[in-house]
């Protein structure tokens, strides 16, 4: 369990590192591309890139062990796509009205939005140490997002970035409900669905012009900063749940600030240093959380990739099975105690 948890934390941080470059590079590309077109290209790049990865897997006949999405998941798929159309348009608009470093740091509010939605709507368990972590991350975000401490006023650009964070908070929880399915399939659907939706809006607004080179760069950025990042993020959500994955994802804005400093020569302020210390303290509380108690697993039938070494899959096969595989299987009722996160098998109430 401990090894799996730290592997998932690593995947969440990897997702953050890839996404962290998106704000400063997008800021450069927005000089020639509209926000709606930029949002469309980012997601189309994600979908096309991951579709290419899928085709390569098929070409080399690599065995697929992931479970496919079904009609049962359709409400969450629709929610994921619609929210992914809205959120990047808000973000790209905010980037036009504020600095890329400020937008990167404001993205921390996505963690708070995701956690609150996970708790109150999706009933995800959040313990005391995790609440402390979320509180510290929130404080860090406030320090970095207030434009003028004497009046505590926010810029218009900040408001758009915050709207993007709230939209992504809902989207993260929709994606969490799909996380046990094939992550490649999820990213392809997310990329093309959200990309085509944003492109239709761009066509309606007549905002589809721009240099071909900039468009190609936006597609490439979408594959790296959105496609690969989302893929790692979904795999992390399987074990960590929505709130915890978002907490580790907090590294993305700080990576964005460093890239902005190197590429755009945007200054690093004293408030950034204070916020960084608070953010690291919040991350410490998140990493050191130890959530264990007696809990009940009710009888259920579902399908996802699994192995028989995790203490939750003790069903038998008529044939020899080694390692991870996917099929519909039965979980019998069980009561036990161990450290756990709100993954697919631990969404019980407290």
DSSP string, 279-291: HHHHHHHHHT---
Same domain flag for 319 and 179: no
Same domain flag for 306 and 168: no
Is 65 domain-assigned? yes
| pLDDT at 189 (0 to 100) | 93
Same domain flag for 45 and 168: yes
Is 123 domain-assigned? yes
Highest mean pLDDT among 62-76, 195-209, 236-250, 325-339: 195-209
Same domain flag for 318 and 288: no
- Residue 120 burial by CB count (10 A; 0-12/13-18/19+): exposed, middle or buried? exposed
Give pLDDT tens digits for 15-27.
988 888 887 888 8
- Host domain of residue 315: 295-339
| pLDDT at 61 (0 to 100) | 67
Query: Percent of the chain, pLDDT > 90?
Result: 23
More confident residue, 96 or 340: 96
Helical ranges in the chain per DSSP H: 2-20, 22-29, 35-59, 74-97, 100-106, 109-120, 128-145, 156-176, 183-204, 212-221, 229-248, 251-263, 270-287
Give CA–CA dist 196/85, Å, rounded: 9
Query: How does residue 318 score in pLDDT terms, banded at 50, 70 and 90?
Result: low
Is 263 domain-assigned? yes
- Domain ends where: 256, 273, 293? 293
| pLDDT at 211 (0 to 100) | 95
Q: How many domains does the chain have?
A: 2
Same domain flag for 139 and 45: yes
Same domain flag for 218 and 299: no
Same domain flag for 34 and 142: yes
Average pLDDT over residues 81-85: 90
Is 349 domain-assigned? no
- Residue 224 burial by CB count (10 A; 0-12/13-18/19+): exposed, middle or buried? middle
Same domain flag for 15 and 110: yes
Give CA–CA dist 108/106, Å, rounded: 5
Is pLDDT at 151 greater than 60 in this prediction?
no
Is 344 domain-assigned? no
Is 195 domain-assigned? yes
Q: Which of 43-52, 149-158, 165-174, 220-229 has the lowest mean pLDDT?
A: 149-158
Is 51 domain-assigned? yes
Query: How does residue 43 score in pLDDT terms, banded at 50, 70 and 90?
Result: very high
pTM score of the predicted model: 0.76
Same domain flag for 215 and 319: no
Same domain flag for 227 and 314: no
Q: What is the CA radius of gyration of the chain?
A: 20
Same domain flag for 138 and 183: yes
Is 20 domain-assigned? yes
Is pLDDT at 98 greater than 50 in this prediction?
yes
Same domain flag for 176 and 324: no
Query: How does residue 340 score in pLDDT terms, banded at 50, 70 and 90?
Result: very low
More confident residue, 223 or 63: 223
């Amino acid at each position: 369990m401990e090894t799996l948890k730290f592997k998932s934390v690593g995947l969440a941080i990897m997702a953050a590192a890839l996404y962290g470059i998106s704000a400063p590079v997008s800021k450069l590309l927005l000089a020639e591309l509209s926000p709606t077109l930029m949002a469309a290209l980012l997601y189309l790049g994600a979908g096309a890139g991951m579709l290419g990865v899928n085709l390569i897997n098929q070409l080399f006949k690599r065995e697929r062990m992931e479970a496919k999405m079904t009609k049962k998941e359709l409400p969450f798929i629709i929610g994921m796509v619609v929210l992914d159309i809205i959120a990047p348009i808000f973000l790209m608009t905010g980037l036009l009205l504020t600095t890329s470093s400020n937008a990167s740091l404001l993205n921390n509010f996505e963690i708070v939005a995701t956690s609150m939605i996970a708790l109150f709507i999706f009933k995800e368990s959040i313990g005391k140490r995790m609440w402390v972590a979320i509180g510290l991350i929130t404080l860090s975000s406030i320090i970095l997002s207030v434009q003028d401490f004497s009046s505590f006023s926010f810029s218009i650009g900040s408001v758009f970035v915050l709207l993007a964070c709230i939209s992504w908070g809902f989207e993260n929880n929709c994606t969490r409900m799909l996380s046990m399915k094939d992550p490649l399939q999820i990213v392809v659907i997310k990329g093309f669905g959200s990309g085509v939706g944003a492109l239709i809006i761009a066509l309606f607004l007549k905002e589809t012009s721009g240099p071909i080179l900039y468009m190609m760069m936006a597609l490439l950025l979408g594959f790296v900063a959105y496609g690969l990042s989302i893929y790692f993020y979904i795999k992390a959500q399987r074990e960590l749940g929505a709130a915890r994955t978002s907490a580790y994802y907090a590294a993305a804005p700080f990576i964005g600030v460093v890239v902005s400093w190197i590429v755009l020569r945007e200054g690093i302020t004293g408030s950034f240093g204070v916020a960084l210390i608070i953010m690291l303290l919040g991350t410490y509380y998140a990493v050191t959380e130890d959530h264990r108690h007696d809990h009940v697993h009710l009888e259920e039938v579902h399908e996802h990739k699994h192995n028989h070494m995790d203490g939750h899959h003790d069903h038998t096969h008529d044939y020899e099975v080694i390692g991870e595989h996917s099929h519909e299987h039965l979980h019998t009722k069980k009561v036990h105690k161990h450290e756990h996160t709100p993954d697919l098998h631990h969404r019980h109430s407290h």
